[in-house]
Amino acid sequence: MKPAPFHYQAARSLDEAIELVGGSMDDDVDVRVIAGGQSLGPMLNLRMVRPTLLIDIHRIDALRTISRSAEGALRIGACVTHAALEDAPAASIPEQRLGAFLRFVAGGIAYRAIRTRGTIGGSLAHADPAADWPCALAALGASIELAGPGGTRVVPARSFGRGLFETAIEPGEVVAAVVLPTAPVLRWGYRKHCRKIGEFPHALAACVDRGDDLFEVWLGATGGAPVAVALDRAVVVQSAGTAPAQRRSALREHVATLLPDWIAQGDAYARHLHAQVATEAVIDALTMEP
């Protein structure tokens, strides 16, 4: 199928994009931002959405850069592609563990052709429950910068997702950047289960140790926004003294008891997958040299 007809305008700056998005709201025009087009493209083709105006933001330089905030935090522009993060040189992300985590997550998204176009901001805004960045960035404790007619506001990644394809973005707002905390990443684990390489995962888990909360693991692909489960410190510590197979089984049993009831309700296999993937992420983090 082909998309329904629409108008197209490429914004040259973030201010212009916000003006176009805001201005169009007044005129009762159905306006959409397009970044990499990797999700919006298929939705247009299938006529699941029929915007009257598309505002292309992917050429805005300010949105395509990896920089530093005034406080020294890593700031990733919304239109930085997955491929750019996968290939990010140490010079742009010198924090070794954080860089490795970001490269690993980016490199596991879909396949290379999609990664060269798909953007971190588009992934967050689209809020597919099985997407990688919403879960990975929640585990990292990142913040999302939203730019709108009233200025910029910051929303924690942990409360950015509101449900299935729902986010904290208000009408007229555009995702401008992702800002990461300055506290160093000491250890991490990131696991997902895909039936086929390049497909969206059926279970996804991220675990990041910044010296305080390794006992929390974030779960994705649950059908809604990412959700955290907090492991009992005593169980984790106790399991460390046992053989690897015993440890894995004790942790998986523990994680299984923590899964909220609504996850994969009534589907024992899917719940097992979530517990297994989360356990592997925790073990990867625990066994990474601090």
Indicate which single residue of 132, 145, 209, 280 sits in contact with ligand FAD (rule: CB under 6 A): 132
Per-residue contact track with ligand FAD, 79 to 118, x per CB under 6 A? ---x--------------------------xx---x--xx
Indicate which single residue of 174, 177, 203, 275 sits in contact with ligand FAD (rule: CB under 6 A): 174
* b/e per residue 164-197 (b: at least 16 CB within 10 A): eeebbbeebbbbbbbbbbeeebbbbbbbbebeee
Q: Using an 8 Å Cβ cutoff, are 205 and 277 in contact?
A: yes
**Residue at 18: amino acid letter:** I
Please report how close the Cβ of residue 102 comes to ligand FAD at its closest, in angstroms: 13
Per-residue contact track with ligand FAD, 63 to 82, x per CB under 6 A? ---------------x---x
- Residues 6 or more apart in contact with residue 200 via CB below 8 angstroms: 128, 130, 131, 194, 221
DSSP for 59-128, written as a single string: T-GGGS-EEE-TTS-EEEETT-BHHHHHT--TTT---HHHHHHHHHHHHTSS-HHHHTT-BHHHHHHHT-
Nearer to ligand FAD, 169 or 285 (CB): 169
Per-residue contact track with ligand FAD, 7 to 36, x per CB under 6 A? -------------------------xxxxx
Indicate which single residue of 18, 60, 77, 119 sits in contact with ligand FAD (rule: CB under 6 A): 119
Radius of gyration of the chain (CA): 20
- Residues 6 or more apart in contact with residue 288 via CB below 8 angstroms: 187, 188, 189
The verdict on 122 binding ligand FAD (CB under 6 A) reads yes
Measured at CB, which residue is nearest to ligand FAD?
122
Please report how close the Cβ of residue 99 comes to ligand FAD at its closest, in angstroms: 19
The verdict on 190 binding ligand FAD (CB under 6 A) reads no
Q: Using an 8 Å Cβ cutoff, are 248 and 283 in contact?
A: yes
d(CA 42, CA 210): 38
Please report how close the Cβ of residue 122 comes to ligand FAD at its closest, in angstroms: 2
Indicate which single residue of 77, 121, 129, 226 sits in contact with ligand FAD (rule: CB under 6 A): 121
Cα angle 246, 221, 139; round to 5: 70
The verdict on 123 binding ligand FAD (CB under 6 A) reads yes
Task: Give me 187's structure tokens.
Answer: 């250890």
The verdict on 179 binding ligand FAD (CB under 6 A) reads no
| Choices 167-175, 177-185, 221-229, 282-290; region in contact with ligand FAD by CB under 6 A | 167-175
The verdict on 239 binding ligand FAD (CB under 6 A) reads no
d(CA 202, CA 257): 19
DSSP state of 264: T
Which positions lie near ligand FAD, rule CB under 6 A?
32-40, 57, 78, 82, 109-110, 114, 117-119, 121-123, 125-126, 131-133, 169, 174-175, 200
